[in-house]
Copies of this chain bind each other. A is one copy, B any other.
Amino acid sequence: MKKQKTDYFKAVILAGGNGERFWPLSTPERPKQFLRVFGGESLIRQSVNRLAGLVRNEDVFVVTSRALVAATRRELPEIPESNIIGEPMRRDTGAAVALGVGVAGEGIVGFFPSDQMVADPTGFRHAVATAAAIAARQPKIVTIGIKPTFPATGFGYIDPATKRFVEKPGEREAKAYLKAGYLWNAGMFIASADTFRTAFEQYAPALMPLIERPSANLAKVYEGLPKISFDFAVMEKSKEVDVVPGDFGWDDVGSFTAFDRYFPHDSRRNVREGPCTVVDSEDNICVARSARISLLGVKNLVVITTPDSVLVADKSKISEMKKLFK
């Protein structure tokens, strides 16, 4: 076993989104991490920026899909081109994390989603640095646990007392988790490369080829890999887990309803982006990227237009966007 080098910190940005949840503003060719609607810069740009000071450019890696490598390199010109790796096909976050461990090679490695918002980057860096320090001292995978603001069913949870990871709950469970003080699993994991390696060896040996030979013919390797999330493959099984609580205005920007949090509202709680005429309507999100949108007498809708597509969805059904692509 190689001696752990813990004197520097590496970051792997996971950018495997497929553009469905913000369709039609985002598309498979331009998924959520490239969206510029939140804060002016793309979400992936913000994800890299908020690591400033914690990690050197040559120690930032991005795991994305092959089709997005060129766009990602354009978006992040300061990152060495060879650090931006394209997966030949989607095999969920299990494979993406394993590949990230493989390309990072050694040191303390942090995994970060490419499509989240953080209101307080200093608080974020403090939490990450704390997690990295723990990971440098102990053979544990440290996650940042976010204090929940509502009983979300779209995230996994962590019990900070037992360090137990649990999958996305149903609504009743989610409420119980909130009461019990569970934290959200925000998909951020920090450990030494060796600790990740040991965990994969023990819990997901099928993914080891990605760690051992990350520059092999990936197309051939990926074909045989299971589709499995890193949470399910490793975190829910491992006992060597720790949690650093984080309270830095985290937001996963999970769907169009995030517009309600980031855009100003009119007097009837409508969000308007672009040319929107709104009459006798309330609580709508109206984003006009081509033709003018006119709303008349409607409530709780998400209406998005691009030159190619018009989406009209009830806010309460927006989490079921995938159904449109079947």
A294 to B311, CA, bound (A): 5
Instruction: For A294, give its contact among B293, B295, B312 (CB under 8 Å).
Output: B312
Choose one: B24, B296, B309, B318; the contact of A317 (CB below 8 Å): B296
Q: Are B312 and A296 in contact (CB under 8 A)?
A: yes
Question: B301 contacts A313, CB within 8 Å?
Answer: no
Q: In the complex, are the beta carbons of B320 and A310 less than 8 A apart?
A: no
Are A298's CB and B313's CB within 8 A?
A: yes
Confirm or deny: A314 has a beta carbon within 8 angstroms of a beta carbon on chain B: yes
Say yes or no: is A137 at the interface (Cβ < 8 Å to chain B).
no
User: Which residue of B is nearest A295, CB measured?
Assistant: B312
Q: Which A residues from 268 to 326 make CB contacts under 8 A with B? A: 277, 279-280, 288, 290-298, 301, 303, 305-314, 316-318, 320-321, 323-324
- Tell me the smallest distance from the CB of A250 to a CB of chain B, in Å: 27
Q: With A298-B301, A301-B298, A324-B279 given, is the CB distance from A293 to B312 under 8 Å?
A: yes
CA distance A279 to B23 in the complex (A): 15
Nearest Cβ on chain B to A283's Cβ, whole angstroms: 13
Contact: A291 with B306, CB < 8 Å? yes
**Chain A interface residue count, Cβ-Cβ cutoff 8 angstroms:** 33
Q: How far is the CA of A290 from the CA of B307 in the complex (A)?
A: 9
Known: A290-B291, A291-B305. A296 touches B310 (CB 8 A): no
Q: Which of A24, A296, A303, A324 has the most CB of B within 10 A?
A: A296
**Distance in Å from the Cβ of A193 to the closest Cβ of chain B?**
43
Knowing A277-B324, A294-B324, say if A305 contacts B310 (CB, 8 Å): yes
From residue A229, how far is it (CB to closest CB) to chain B in Å?
25
Residue of B nearest to A313 (CB): B296
A291 x B312 contact (CB < 8 A): no
> In the assembled complex, how far is the CB of residue A244 from the closest CB belonging to chain B, in whole angstroms?
38
Q: How far is the CB of A138 from chain B (nearest CB, A)?
A: 46
Separation of A288 and B296 alpha carbons in the complex (Å): 18
In the complex, what residue of chain B is closest to A296 when comparing beta carbons?
B313
Bound CA span A298–B303, Å: 11
Q: Complex formed: what's the CA distance from A288 to B303 in Å?
A: 15
Distance between Cα atoms of A279 and B313 in the complex (Å): 9
Given A280-B323, A323-B279, A324-B279, is A309 in contact with B296 using a C-beta cutoff of 8 Å?
Answer: no
**Which residues from B are CB-within-8-Å of A323?**
279-280, 296
Across the interface, A310 reaches (CB within 8 A) one of B279, B294, B317, namely B294
Expressed in whole angstroms, the minimum distance between the Cβ of A147 and any Cβ of chain B is 30
Q: How far is the CA of A321 from the CA of B277 in the complex (A)?
A: 12
Query: Given that A291-B290, A291-B306 are known contacts, is A297 also in contact with B280, CB under 8 Å in the complex?
Result: no
The 4 closest A-B pairs by CB, nearest first: A297-B317, A296-B313, A297-B314, A293-B310
Interface set of A (CB-CB < 8 Å, partner B)? 24, 277, 279-280, 288, 290-298, 301, 303, 305-314, 316-318, 320-321, 323-324
- Can you identify 15 A-B contacts, CB atoms within 8 angstroms? A277-B324, A291-B291, A291-B307, A291-B309, A292-B308, A293-B309, A294-B324, A296-B312, A296-B324, A297-B316, A297-B317, A297-B320, A298-B301, A303-B312, A312-B312
